[in-house]
Protein backbone atom coordinates (compact mmCIF):
# COMPACT_ATOMS: atom_id res chain seq x y z
CA UNK A 1 0.00 0.00 0.00
CA UNK A 2 1.34 3.41 -0.98
CA UNK A 3 0.61 6.04 1.66
CA UNK A 4 2.26 8.86 3.59
CA UNK A 5 3.90 8.34 6.96
CA UNK A 6 2.05 9.18 10.16
CA UNK A 7 4.46 12.04 10.96
CA UNK A 8 3.84 13.65 7.55
CA UNK A 9 0.07 13.51 8.04
CA UNK A 10 0.38 14.94 11.57
CA UNK A 11 2.57 17.80 10.26
CA UNK A 12 0.00 18.59 7.55
CA UNK A 13 -2.88 18.48 10.05
CA UNK A 14 -1.04 20.89 12.37
CA UNK A 15 -0.34 23.21 9.45
CA UNK A 16 -3.99 23.19 8.32
CA UNK A 17 -5.25 23.79 11.87
CA UNK A 18 -3.00 26.85 12.18
CA UNK A 19 -4.68 28.37 9.11
CA UNK A 20 -2.08 27.51 6.46
CA UNK A 21 -4.34 26.07 3.76
CA UNK A 22 -1.90 26.70 0.89
CA UNK A 23 -1.16 23.39 -0.83
CA UNK A 24 1.20 24.71 -3.50
CA UNK A 25 4.88 23.85 -3.32
CA UNK A 26 7.26 26.52 -2.13
CA UNK A 27 10.09 27.60 -4.45
CA UNK A 28 13.09 25.32 -4.19
CA UNK A 29 16.74 26.07 -4.50
CA UNK A 30 18.74 24.59 -7.30
CA UNK A 31 19.27 25.10 -10.96
CA UNK A 32 16.05 26.01 -12.82
CA UNK A 33 15.08 24.09 -15.91
CA UNK A 34 16.41 26.23 -18.72
CA UNK A 35 16.88 23.83 -21.63
CA UNK A 36 13.24 23.03 -22.32
CA UNK A 37 12.16 26.56 -23.16
CA UNK A 38 9.69 27.21 -25.93
CA UNK A 39 12.49 28.67 -28.07
CA UNK A 40 14.63 25.53 -27.71
CA UNK A 41 11.62 23.30 -28.41
CA UNK A 42 10.88 25.26 -31.59
CA UNK A 43 14.56 25.12 -32.61
CA UNK A 44 14.78 21.33 -32.12
CA UNK A 45 11.48 20.80 -33.94
CA UNK A 46 12.59 22.87 -36.93
CA UNK A 47 15.89 20.96 -37.13
CA UNK A 48 14.09 17.60 -37.00
CA UNK A 49 11.59 18.68 -39.67
CA UNK A 50 14.49 19.78 -41.87
CA UNK A 51 16.41 16.50 -41.40
CA UNK A 52 14.44 13.55 -39.99
CA UNK A 53 17.65 11.47 -39.77
CA UNK A 54 19.43 13.90 -37.46
CA UNK A 55 20.91 12.31 -34.36
CA UNK A 56 20.74 13.48 -30.77
CA UNK A 57 24.54 13.98 -30.87
CA UNK A 58 24.26 16.23 -33.92
CA UNK A 59 21.49 18.23 -32.24
CA UNK A 60 23.62 18.52 -29.11
CA UNK A 61 26.62 19.84 -31.07
CA UNK A 62 24.50 22.30 -33.05
CA UNK A 63 22.48 23.72 -30.17
CA UNK A 64 24.78 23.29 -27.14
CA UNK A 65 21.82 21.71 -25.27
CA UNK A 66 22.50 18.53 -23.27
CA UNK A 67 21.57 15.20 -24.84
CA UNK A 68 19.20 14.45 -21.95
CA UNK A 69 17.32 17.70 -22.49
CA UNK A 70 17.17 17.07 -26.25
CA UNK A 71 15.81 13.59 -25.67
CA UNK A 72 13.17 15.02 -23.29
CA UNK A 73 12.19 17.66 -25.84
CA UNK A 74 11.93 15.10 -28.64
CA UNK A 75 10.00 12.44 -26.73
CA UNK A 76 7.99 14.29 -24.09
CA UNK A 77 7.44 17.77 -25.48
CA UNK A 78 7.20 16.99 -29.21
CA UNK A 79 5.95 13.39 -29.01
CA UNK A 80 8.54 11.98 -31.43
CA UNK A 81 10.21 8.60 -31.40
CA UNK A 82 13.07 7.20 -33.42
CA UNK A 83 12.06 4.61 -36.01
CA UNK A 84 14.74 3.15 -38.28
CA UNK A 85 17.00 6.12 -37.55
CA UNK A 86 14.34 8.74 -38.37
CA UNK A 87 12.40 10.90 -35.91
CA UNK A 88 8.70 10.49 -36.58
CA UNK A 89 5.61 11.66 -34.70
CA UNK A 90 4.44 9.02 -32.25
CA UNK A 91 0.75 9.65 -32.85
CA UNK A 92 -0.33 8.77 -36.35
CA UNK A 93 -2.86 10.79 -38.30
CA UNK A 94 -6.00 9.10 -39.62
CA UNK A 95 -4.47 8.97 -43.14
CA UNK A 96 -1.29 7.34 -41.81
CA UNK A 97 -3.31 4.71 -39.92
CA UNK A 98 -5.39 3.93 -43.02
CA UNK A 99 -2.25 3.67 -45.15
CA UNK A 100 -0.72 1.18 -42.68
CA UNK A 101 -3.94 -0.81 -42.58
CA UNK A 102 -4.08 -0.98 -46.39
CA UNK A 103 -0.43 -2.07 -46.59
CA UNK A 104 -1.01 -4.79 -44.00
CA UNK A 105 -4.11 -6.06 -45.85
CA UNK A 106 -2.23 -6.08 -49.15
CA UNK A 107 0.63 -8.01 -47.57
CA UNK A 108 -1.77 -10.61 -46.16
CA UNK A 109 -3.60 -10.90 -49.50
CA UNK A 110 -0.27 -11.42 -51.26
CA UNK A 111 0.56 -14.41 -49.08
CA UNK A 112 -3.00 -15.72 -48.70
CA UNK A 113 -2.57 -18.63 -51.09
CA UNK A 114 1.05 -19.36 -50.18
CA UNK A 115 2.40 -22.06 -47.97
CA UNK A 116 1.59 -21.28 -44.31
CA UNK A 117 5.34 -21.28 -43.57
CA UNK A 118 5.64 -18.02 -45.51
CA UNK A 119 3.62 -16.13 -42.89
CA UNK A 120 6.16 -17.12 -40.23
CA UNK A 121 8.79 -15.24 -42.23
CA UNK A 122 6.95 -11.95 -41.72
CA UNK A 123 8.17 -10.08 -38.67
CA UNK A 124 5.90 -7.53 -37.03
CA UNK A 125 6.84 -5.03 -34.39
CA UNK A 126 5.58 -1.56 -33.51
CA UNK A 127 3.30 -1.63 -36.57
CA UNK A 128 6.26 -2.11 -38.90
CA UNK A 129 5.92 -5.07 -41.28
CA UNK A 130 9.07 -6.46 -42.81
CA UNK A 131 9.36 -9.47 -45.08
CA UNK A 132 12.32 -11.47 -43.81
CA UNK A 133 14.17 -14.38 -45.37
CA UNK A 134 17.56 -15.80 -44.66
CA UNK A 135 19.64 -15.92 -47.85
CA UNK A 136 21.13 -19.30 -48.58
CA UNK A 137 24.88 -19.44 -48.75
CA UNK A 138 26.71 -21.57 -51.29
Interacting residues of 86 by C-beta distance below 8 A, sequence separation 6+: 52, 53
Q: What is the pLDDT of residues 35-76, one digit of tens each?
A: 888 999 999 999 988 888 888 889 999 998 988 899 889 988
3-state class (DSSP) for residue 111: coil
Q: Where are the domains of the chain?
A: 35-91, 94-131
pTM: 0.44
Between residues 102 and 107, the one the model is more confident about? 102
CA distance 35 to 74: 12
CATH class of this structure's domain 35-91: mainly alpha
Q: Give the pLDDT of residue 39.
A: 92
- CA–CA separation, 2 and 4 (whole Å): 7
* Predicted confidence (pLDDT) per residue in 122-137, tens digit: 655 444 444 555 556 6
Amino acid sequence: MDCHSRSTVERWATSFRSGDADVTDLPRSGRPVSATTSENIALIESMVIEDKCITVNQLEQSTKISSGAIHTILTTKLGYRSVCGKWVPHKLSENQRLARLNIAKKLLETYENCDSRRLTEIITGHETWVYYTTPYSK
